[in-house]
Structure 1
Amino acid sequence: MLYLVCYDVADPKKLRRIHKMTAAYAVGGQKSFYECWMTESELRQLNRQIEDEIDLETDRAHMFSLDPRSSPFLFGVASRQSINPFMVI
């Protein structure tokens, strides 16, 4: 599934750790918003990892499932992300 993962974290060290966790699944994104292809298991794992890192009083994180069949609205220099199959060995 395709998900939009976004977060706002106050502590710079936690922000870097969450960025590394999220970037492992990202196929595109900018700053703290990332499109991520993940299985349900990977989503649960990332959810737990982020939940362990954030401060519930000052930080926030959101994960939205996206329909990969829908067409995005693109503005400015935006371009559609490639979703061609890939394999990491």
Structure 2
Amino acid sequence: MNKVTFPNACQLMRWHFHPVGFEANMDAPSSMVARLFDRESGETVIAIAGIPCATVMNAMDVERIIEAIELELETFIPSRIDYLNRA
């Protein structure tokens, strides 16, 4: 994989976290807000602001974002990590 735009990177992250819902948007030129949510209820599992990103990223950048989200989830909501493992 070469470079991906922010929308395409978000799609890769949606696929990674499926069946848990994932949405993200850039809140500044170099950072994003990501949200994982239960698709059935719409309940937010976790929302994280200030994740470093860019409008164009490479595969390692996307992987770092995924790892950062998973680490936040494990750190702040350990009971919810089982939710992702069932996915």
Global fold match (TM > 0.5): no
Which has the larger Rg? 1
Q: Which fold has the larger relative contact order, with Cα–Cα distance below 8 Å and residues 6 or more apart in sequence?
A: 1
Structure holding more strand per residue? 2
Give the TM-score band, short-chain normalised: 0.3 to 0.5
Query: TM (normalized to structure 1)?
Result: 0.35
